[in-house]
Amino acid sequence: MAITDLESLIERWERFFYDYYKEEIEEASVYYPERRSLFLDYWKLSIYDLELAEYLLENPYRSIYCAEKAIKNTIDLPIHFRLKNIPETKKVEIRNLRAQHLGKFISVDGLVKKVTEVRPKLEDALFECRKCGNTIKIPQQENILVEPVECYKDQGGCGRKSSFKLLTEKSRFIDAQKIELQESPEGLRGGAQPMRVVVYLEDDLVGQVVPGDRISVNGILRVQARRSGRIKFSEFNRVIDANSIEIKEQAFEEIQISEEDERRIIEVSKDPLLVQKIVASIAPTIYGLEMEKEALAMQLFGGVPKKMPDGTRIRGDIHILLVGDPGTAKSQLLRYISELAPRSIYTSGKSSSAAGLTASALKSDEFGEGNWTLEAGALVLADLGIACVDELDKMSPKDREALHQAMEQQEISVAKAGINATLKARCALLGAANPRLGRFDKAATIVDQINIPPTLLSRFDLIFPLTDKPDKARDEEMATHILEAHKYGERLQKEKNLEIEKMRPFFEPEFLRKYIAYAKRNI
């Protein structure tokens, strides 16, 4: 039977609910109004009524409207209809969202970068006509208030052009929140800028996610007019109206480990020289620094957080600080680790982003239209991974304060205006800093020359001072090593299958990344 008009679509939904979803509907009516949503697994729908399911993906606004009408007809309650588990083919990456997806049901994965405070949004606006006093109802869909053009006769009005007064007490509001979703950094090797998309959440979906959460949003892509004052632009913004959200719990979901990979991982793990081999796989082009590299290897794996009987939590991550003279390969090592780690963020202490290293609550116009907005900083985005922070000594005073809690409790609390949240920051911190005067002064002790307060310094488990002392033999060896690396690099460009043991990481980075992810996930 073809789906032709709204009436038949509503009927079809009623039939589906009656035949296959009776229990769930009854349950929804029992829990109303504490729960206001009915969730439907796409897979279940497609088994019983494939045509209805496919129609839903192609015409989501219409279908959701009719499904909710059907629920209302059945149990007389305004319950949201929410779809879960939508097919893989509807998964779109944020950077691939295009005009063809407009008005269609899609699912996008990403990292929550910002959230606004929850605000009441007009759903049905009631206006009073200043001429006849009649009340006119205008349902609001856009984010810009729609007012009556005249006092509509079909709503019992006088039919004249008039001016209207908004009756806020009689209008109906729902909770609304905007979030900004960003591509996960794992998918972005090679320093590409992450793309973002704004997602609108309504009613019982609000307040569920905090910055730093990794989620899937199932919803509908639509355009939103851009305006600045009275000017309207012909280019539109794209936003997603969320229909449902799924918060991901599993770490490193994005790293695929095949059965073959697993076999190799288990085989390699039995090697008695494993530690040395892993260390030899870290930045082989960098000469020396064996102890530092071993520490970094340990940091990549980390330990296991422990929960004590009294409720305290002991972190499992190792924090490392490299502090040293300029040109001692600190930045190089940080870059290397951030590429190698299954999940990482590379940033500078003096980064330009308002959220900085920890988090910020700001009144934002660009994103929140004057809303308070909570934005995640580097340590939150690197949750369950490694935050590589170069020039750590140049961080803002605000971050300096917040870093204490972030490093020890591995969470960041923000309480400001309408925002009160605790963000997870279960990451290892790898920092690099220069000595106070740019170089170490031989006459003073090293600790006195690190431009980081002692309280914060004590949060690091390992601090490596890297000095650049002139030493003929060592400098010569290093110079040879660097020259060899260049020569090797040049030959590598010409000859694809070149075998030179020295500059090659023992395990290739892709494999080591999988090894680390496997260890962190399972062991």
Asked if 483 is part of the footprint of ligand ADP (rule: CB under 6 A), the reply reads: no
Alpha carbon 488 to chain centroid distance?
Answer: 39
Residues 223-262 that bind ligand ADP (CB under 6 A): none
- Report the residue from 133, 156, 207, 327 that binds ligand ADP according to the rule CB under 6 A: 327
- Report the residue from 300, 329, 362, 382 that binds ligand ADP according to the rule CB under 6 A: 329
Asked if residue 511 lies in contact with residue 263, where contact means CB atoms within 8 angstroms, the answer is: no
Q: How far is CA 14 from CA 11, 26, 74, 81, 237, in A?
A: 5, 13, 7, 13, 36
The pair phi, psi for residue 148, each rounded to 5°, is: -65, 145
Q: How many CA atoms lie within 13 A of 447 on its CB side?
A: 8
Asked if 511 is part of the footprint of ligand ADP (rule: CB under 6 A), the reply reads: no
Asked if 503 is part of the footprint of ligand ADP (rule: CB under 6 A), the reply reads: no
Q: Find the part of the chain contacting ligand ADP (CB under 6 A) among 197-205, 269-277, 280-288, 301-309.
A: 280-288
Asked if residue 174 lies in contact with residue 120, where contact means CB atoms within 8 angstroms, the answer is: yes
- Report the residue from 236, 287, 301, 506 that binds ligand ADP according to the rule CB under 6 A: 287
**Which residue in 325, 382, 391, 332 sits closest to 358, CA to CA?**
382
With CB under 5 to 8 Å by kind, the binding choice for 140 among ligand ADP, Mg ion, none is none
Asked if 422 is part of the footprint of ligand ADP (rule: CB under 6 A), the reply reads: no
- Report the residue from 251, 478, 503, 519 that binds ligand ADP according to the rule CB under 6 A: 478
Report the alpha-carbon distance of residue 37 to residue 57 in Å, rounded: 19
Q: How far is the CB of 478 from Mg ion (least distance, A)?
A: 17
Amino acid identity, residue 2?
A: A
Backbone conformation region of residue 66, classed left if phi is above 0, alpha if psi is from -120 to 50, else beta: alpha
Q: Find the part of the chain contacting ligand ADP (CB under 6 A) among 178-186, 263-271, 283-291, 449-457.
A: 283-291
Report the alpha-carbon distance of residue 218 to residue 245 in Å, rounded: 6
User: Closest CB to ligand ADP among 183 and 292?
Assistant: 292
Q: How far is the CB of 432 from ligand ADP (least distance, A)?
A: 6
Q: How far is the CB of 328 from Mg ion (least distance, A)?
A: 9
Asked if 331 is part of the footprint of Mg ion (rule: CB under 5 A), the reply reads: yes
Beta strands in 66-195 (DSSP E): 80-84, 105-116, 119-129, 135-139, 164-166, 172-182
Number of residues that bind Mg ion (CB under 5 A): 1
User: Closest CB to Mg ion among 224 and 331?
Assistant: 331
With CB under 5 to 8 Å by kind, the binding choice for 329 among ligand ADP, Mg ion, none is ligand ADP
Residues contacting residue 83 through CB under 8 Å, at least 6 positions apart = 39, 40, 42, 45, 56, 105, 218, 243, 244
Number of residues that bind ligand ADP (CB under 6 A): 13
- Report the residue from 223, 482, 498, 500 that binds ligand ADP according to the rule CB under 6 A: 482
With CB under 5 to 8 Å by kind, the binding choice for 114 among ligand ADP, Mg ion, none is none
Asked if 326 is part of the footprint of ligand ADP (rule: CB under 6 A), the reply reads: yes
Work out whether the CA dihedral 516, 517, 520, 523 comes out positive or negative: negative
**Which residue in 178, 476, 190 sits closest to 339, CA to CA?**
190
Residue 94 in tokens:
């944020």
Residues found near ligand ADP in the complex (CB under 6 A): 286-289, 326-332, 478, 482
Question: Given the rule CB under 5 A, which residues bind Mg ion?
Answer: 331
